[in-house]
Amino acid sequence: MSFIEFLTQNLGHVLPILVAGALGLAIILERITLLYSFYSLKNIDGFYEDLTQKITHGKMSEAIQRCDQESRVPLCQVVKSGLCRAHLPEVMIEDGLRIATHQAQSLVQKRIGYLATIANVSTLLGLFGTILGLIHSFEAVGHADAQQKSALLSAGISTAMNATLLGLGVAIPCMIAYSFLVNRANQLTSQIEDASLKTMDLLKQRFYSTVDSPTEDRKIA
């Protein structure tokens, strides 16, 4: 039995595996596009340098506009949330950064966990097809003539093995993609947490330098 014949003759338990594979492929393509392209800041060091200069010189509106230029990057959304609260007390700035960080991390990690579930379910569906094929094979052999037993047995075993092959063919790529995507999501999550800390640090530096400057002027006078 060829693989195409297996697909057409066993569509009942093949279709769920194919649907799971299509869903996994859609998630993989969507997450790769976002995590490696849209959610990634190309020159993160340059971004922080530009931001530091604007904040230290009191150009808060320009710093916010700089974040708006990368509005689709979660890291920049976190920084912007802190800058927009720069006029508020420190506790409220920290709360805003904490909320924005949580939202950004959820955005980065979204739907990745489904790949592990799809891989496990595909493996189990393949195993289900294997057991089903063996059951049908032995039932057919039990009621078949001696001349047909060999052909029916081989056809049943072929169905069982093809079911296993199809299940693993979906599960293995999903698990590999899951590992890469989790690693990338962890990198972006770490960058988001660093962005929150750096934003708070920059705002504190700006605040205390502003507070201290009149004292220094008086000493000089």
State residue 219's pLDDT score.
34
State residue 87's pLDDT score.
87
Closest CA relative to residue 132, chosen from 143, 124, 120: 124
Neighbours of 189 (CB within 10 A): 17
State residue 186's pLDDT score.
96
Q: Show the low-confidence residues of the chain (pLDDT under 50).
A: 213-221
Closest CA relative to residue 6, chosen from 176, 217, 159: 159
Q: What is the pLDDT of residues 66-78, one digit of tens each?
A: 999 998 999 999 9
Q: What is the pTM of this model?
A: 0.82
Q: Do the beta carbons of residue 164 and residue 127 sit within 8 Å?
A: yes
Region at 58 (left for phi over 0; alpha for psi -120 to 50; beta for the rest): left
The answer to the question of residue 110 being in a domain is yes
State residue 221's pLDDT score.
28
The answer to the question of residue 219 being in a domain is no
The answer to the question of residue 119 being in a domain is yes
DSSP string, the chain: --HHHHHHHTHHHHHHHHHHHHHHHHHHHHHHHIIIIIT--TTHHHHHHHHHHHHHTT-HHHHHHHHHTTTTSHHHHHHHHHHHTTTS-HHHHHHHHHHHHHHHHHHHHTTTHHHHHHHHHHHHHHHHHHHHHHHHHHHHHHTS-HHHHHHHHHHHHHHHHHHHHHHHHHHHHHHHHHHHHHHHHHHHHHHHHHHHHHHHHHHHHHHHHHHHHHHHHHHH-
The answer to the question of residue 221 being in a domain is no
The answer to the question of residue 218 being in a domain is no
The answer to the question of residue 32 being in a domain is yes
The answer to the question of residue 192 being in a domain is yes
Say what angle helices 74-84 and 44-56 make with each other, to 10 degrees: 10
Q: What is the pLDDT of residues 15-59, one digit of tens each?
A: 889 999 999 999 999 999 999 999 998 889 999 999 999 988 888
State residue 137's pLDDT score.
76
State residue 215's pLDDT score.
44
State residue 217's pLDDT score.
39
Give the chain's domain count: 1
Q: Compute the radius of gyration of the chain from its Cα atoms.
A: 29
Instruction: Provide the domain limits for residue 144.
Output: 3-212
